[in-house]
Structure 1
């Protein structure tokens, strides 16, 4: 199997970085197909923690070349900082990273507009990362955006820069009653900051197609999660791109007929950052306990994540949308100390006015999320550390039963289980569940 897609199957922060790091060791290309610096993929190896926002997680696999696809949005200043951090850590990136020329660029005014919109929204805020994703996506759809390829032509870049900054300043002054951004110094700063990126601009889609046509192994890396998808997610509390397998074709420039295997990454419980519905959310002490045990604070913003029990209906919907070959279950070790572990098997739909009953719902429905009441069953905890386990049989029996029950409920096999933050703390559950692992 020459390709594999890795997708977050909840609301992001599932541990995709670690899973991609594990699976990319035999990849020739690792390709980010959507998202931007709002992502935060964390990999821990040999006592060192690396947080990647825009660079594909495969950059930590020396044999892999990386592509930032046309479906991504790129902040050139933050990317330069990220690359400098990798260099200090001894990670070679020169000649190993290509930025598709069709990817749109985030400028400083996008970040400022994003933050002002959130501040002014008050109780109606979405809970964005403030990284400028919404405003740059607005420019993209409005067909006025600045793309990476514009960095190869200084005159074209400056013309678009002046036009877009003027439009942004109008919004700042007229809509937000804020001070405008001075043009001359900002243009000089941005042009200087984008020089390292210009050397990486190329045709990422052609590179990926050539690799697939020649049978080379390509791993597609998603950001955020299925239920933050612009179309399928809990709108308006979503991101601005297609986060599932559906985003690969347009976010890279390949035919969907190439795609053969997909892994959905899920936590052994559920978390969410920002606003929006969350049926299994735990309030008070229970939520605080899970947050502390799991270290649930955002890699990008540092915000505390909302925490809750595993939601089978949520993941079951992700499996339906993406036809996952298998799942990678992360943070099972976070549950090690619990005596009992509730998990939601489905939902009761609260009746609307005039209805006598609402019925039972098996799949998460974003359009009726506010009416979903989770139905729980309780599993016995294992109360034994699992971080030392290196095989499926070494896991406590109760932990294995928990994993098997999740498989039954979401109707998808679990291929990998992560039981710690280090890159080596990951177990292959069943040999051959993924052709990618079998053929690597």
Structure 2
């Protein structure tokens, strides 16, 4: 019997995936990250205690659940060990139940330095808006077939040669293209070997492990990072992440087949946010933006940057539902909208010059510049929804808002988050209810 769930974001990230994975993984056997790196930021809030994660999957609070990093994730060994140590200080022991794919590409100091150098021009203004974690350059190495993968460190002589070659390649760029200081080869080598010796017992063939566990009927959750609108192929290119944060990343990032997945859950806020540069048709610059930013605590978990704010965009969600073959949708932060007098949702785009409806999802950045959103306006409910766990107990105006979204998108709303705490959630889907029992 296939019990496996995918949880992925269908906006620009920060949709609240961490909370939902934490909720659903209470009775799971494995939670698997399949793409991204420590540029992700997942926040768990249980019994008023906040736990922030960047790389390790969002199942850490459940002691019987194994956390897995698949081959689609890029990993900084330094940051991995720092996160393990940070969790240990909070009383969360993860080391004995953390599993690393032997094919994980590694992030080194030269990736991070190059990332920072590229992102800042002479005016010190960010170009794409990356987190400066070295994620992009690490993925470039993977595609260019020069990545150093974690299994390469088993043979120190082999690793020495690979690292020497890569450091030379990156130091040339840092010095000659960006006038930056070079990195120290010996220091990187020694530090990497030292850390590797502390984590090498975690390394396994993840594809073999997961496929074997699936045969045994184990419950597995595949946890996405970022959001589908940041997918390198299907997002708002070039203002995207460097990995496939949509459904395809599950297969390539773990080695399991599409027929091993039973249910795909897309996560969306009831409004929109974005960190970094790039298209944002429904972005707000008024008091509503400030209100949502304050009430929703819209600051990046990883960077601390203030998020850009906008109304919910159903045109974008339709596209993301299509490419991800979603089984159902989860709406988060309904409570953030509680005291707004009017709530808008974007239902179509028109061209700002011709005023004609834009019939297709804009492909290039120039086309995005012509997009003007058209809104449907809802009356707010002016009362608290915080902590409600039954749909019929929501104010009728909130029910109408949610029902319209479901009808417009032609998808069931299977979860509704009514607050940041784990149990402040409405679950309407029978399979998901059974999954957490």
- TM-score class normalised by the smaller sequence: over 0.9
Cα offset for 1:2? 1.2
Tell me whether 1:217 sits opposite 2:205 in the alignment: no
Which residue number corresponds to residue 75 of structure 2?
74
Which residue number corresponds to residue 106 of structure 2?
105
CA distance in 2, matches of 1:335, 1:226: 23
Report Cα offsets for 1:125-178 as digits up to 9, x if no partner. 100000001111111111111111122222222222221111111111111111
Alignment TM-score, normalising by the size of structure 2? 0.95
Cα offset for 1:271? 0.3
Cα offset for 1:183? 2.2
Which residue number corresponds to residue 356 of structure 2?
359
Q: Flag the 1:387–1:375 CA change in 2: closer, same or farther, 3 A.
A: same
* SS across alignment from 1:59: coil
Which residue number corresponds to residue 295 of structure 2?
293
Cα offset for 1:326? 0.6
After TM superposition, the structure 1 = structure 2 runs for residues 305-384 of structure 1, keeping only pairs within 5 Å, are: 305-351=307-353, 357=354, 359-361=356-358, 364-367=361-364, 368-384=367-383
Q: Which runs of 5+ in 1 are unaligned?
A: 352-356
Computed over aligned residues only, the root mean square deviation of the Cα atoms, in angstroms, reads: 1.6
Tell me which moved more, 112-121 or 2-11: 112-121
Q: Flag the 1:283–1:89 CA change in 2: closer, same or farther, 3 A.
A: same
Cα offset for 1:358? 5.4
Report Cα offsets for 1:212-271 as digits up to 9, x if no partner. 122111111111111100010111101111111111111100112222210000001000
Which residue number corresponds to residue 118 of structure 1?
119
Tell me whether 1:388 sits opposite 2:387 in the alignment: yes
Which residue number corresponds to residue 438 of structure 1?
434
Runs of at least 4 residues of structure 1 off by over 4 A? 121-124
Whether contact under 8 Å (1:97, 1:200) holds in the other structure is: yes
Cα offset for 1:92? 2.1
CA distance in 1, matches of 2:56, 2:293: 27
Report Cα offsets for 1:398-437 as digits up to 9, x if no partner. 1111111111222211111111111111111x242xx243
Cα offset for 1:363? 6.0
Q: Flag the 1:271–1:366 CA change in 2: closer, same or farther, 3 A.
A: farther
Which residue number corresponds to residue 259 of structure 1?
261
Which residue number corresponds to residue 417 of structure 2?
418
Tell me whether 1:28 sits opposite 2:25 in the alignment: no
Whether contact under 8 Å (1:106, 1:133) holds in the other structure is: yes
CA distance in 2, matches of 1:243, 1:121: 31
CA distance in 1, matches of 2:396, 2:137: 49
Which residue number corresponds to residue 62 of structure 1?
63
Aligned match for 1:201, one of 200, 203, 207: 203
Whether contact under 8 Å (1:151, 1:198) holds in the other structure is: no
CA distance in 2, matches of 1:136, 1:25: 33
Alignment TM-score, normalising by the size of structure 1? 0.95
* SS across alignment from 1:342: strand
CA distance in 2, matches of 1:362, 1:87: 52
Cα offset for 1:380? 0.8
Which residue number corresponds to residue 93 of structure 1?
94
CA distance in 1, matches of 2:363, 2:51: 33
CA distance in 2, matches of 1:145, 1:376: 46
Q: Flag the 1:124–1:388 CA change in 2: closer, same or farther, 3 A.
A: closer
* SS across alignment from 1:151: helix
Cα offset for 1:121? 7.5
Whether contact under 8 Å (1:4, 1:436) holds in the other structure is: no
CA distance in 2, matches of 1:156, 1:345: 56
CA distance in 2, matches of 1:124, 1:350: 27
CA distance in 2, matches of 1:53, 1:388: 26
Cα offset for 1:280? 0.2
Whether contact under 8 Å (2:387, 2:425) holds in the other structure is: no
Cα offset for 1:22? 0.8
